[in-house]
Amino acid sequence: MRKRLFAVALLALTFPPAAFARGTFNPADEFTLNKWVPIHIGPLDLSITKAVVYLWIGAALTILLGIVLMRSRLALPPSRRQTIGEALYEVAQTQVAEQGLPSKAIGRWFPYVASLMLFIWVVNMLGFIPLPLSGQTYHGVPVWGIYAATSSINVTLALALLTFVFTHYEGVRWNGPVRYFKSWIPEVPRVLVGPIAVLE
């Protein structure tokens, strides 16, 4: 039995699938976002693509995960669900919120940071699961494939812009506009304030 298995494995390695493939394969095609539902509002292209669908699935799974894990009744001997929920909460608090937020801002911004952490984790894990969303078919059957939605610059840029806006909003709200923007410029001689302000 082992000899047969070895012979089949050797035969499979001798004739790789690429030798029998028709056409050419370009890995860059995996990142092409074809428009499934074109939506154009003026100059904005809001078309539904593979990345958008993956984000919708990721958002739905994140909401479902949050409801299932965080909306359980607390018990003294904790259930598995409660234990997983508490572990996620602790990771979000100690590894993300306390490391990146001032102590006074944790109460206000922890829900955003924890939701963002959970969403990014779910979307990245979703990228490992083959789904029939590749946009390709083989004899009329959808081809199953994997796709990391966070590999799209649109996704990472949107998340970064949200955090950028919230960070500056909180800085202006807490310090006032003059004091906040003044804090960008380090203490340097007055001659260097202009160039440093541009660099900062």
Give the integer Cα–Cα distance in Å for 104 and 195. 32
Q: What is the residue extent of each domain of the chain?
A: 34-149, 152-200
Q: Which neighbouring-strand residues pair with 44?
A: 41
pLDDT band at 23 (very low <50, low <70, confident <90, very high): low
Q: How many CB atoms lie within 10 A of CB 178?
A: 9
Q: How far is CA 183 from the centre of its chain?
A: 31
**Burial (Cβ within 10 Å: 0-12, 13-18, ≥19) of residue 39:** exposed
Mean pLDDT of 136-165: 87
To 10 degrees, what angle do helices 153-175 and 106-126 make?
180
Give the position of tokens 């829900």.
Answer: 111
pLDDT value for 20: 59
* Position 16, amino acid: P
Mean confidence (pLDDT) of the chain: 85
184-196 b/e (C-beta count within 10 Å ≥ 16 → b): eeeeeeeeeeeee
pLDDT 10s digits, 74-130: 778 888 888 888 888 899 999 988 888 888 888 889 999 999 999 999 999 999 998
**Between residues 13 and 18, the one the model is more confident about:** 13
> How many other CB atoms are there within 10 angstroms of residue 122's CB atom?
20
**What percent of the chain is modeled with pLDDT above 90?**
26
pLDDT at residue 22 in the model = 63
Each residue's pLDDT tens digit, 173-186: 988 998 888 887 77
Phi and psi dihedrals of 97, rounded to 5?
-65, -50
SS3 content of the chain, % helix, strand, coil (to 5): 65, 5, 30
Distances (CA, A) of 175 to 165, 168, 169, 181: 15, 10, 10, 9
Residue entry with tokens 């394969």: 25
